[in-house]
Copies of this chain bind each other. A is one copy, B any other.
Amino acid sequence: MARFAKRPTDEGLQRCGVDESFFREAMSRVPAAVHIVTTDGKAGLAGLTATAVTSITLEPPMMLFCVNKSSFSAARIIANGAFCINTLAVSQAPLADIFAGRTGQFLEQRFTQGEWTKLATGCPALRGAAAVFDCRLAEAKEVMTHFIMIGAAEAVDFGSEPTLTYTNRTYVTF
Chain A residues engaging chain B, CB cutoff 8 angstroms: 1-2, 4, 10-18, 20, 22-27, 29-33, 51-62, 64, 66, 87, 117, 119-120, 127-133, 138, 141, 143-146, 148, 150, 153-161, 163, 165, 167-168, 172, 174
A12–B145 touching, CB < 8 Å: no
Q: How many copies does the complex hold?
A: 2
Within the complex, which residue of B13, B60, B133, B168 is in contact with A144, where a contact is CB–CB below 8 Å?
Answer: B60
Min CB distance, A125 to chain B, in Å?
8
B165–A31 touching, CB < 8 Å: yes
Min CB distance, A140 to chain B, in Å?
12
Chain B residues, CB < 8 A from A117: 10
B12–A159 touching, CB < 8 Å: yes
In the bound complex, how far is the Cα of B50 from the Cα of A78, in angstroms?
29
A144–B2 touching, CB < 8 Å: no
Min CB distance, A94 to chain B, in Å?
16
Within the complex, which residue of B13, B66, B163 is in contact with A56, where a contact is CB–CB below 8 Å?
Answer: B66
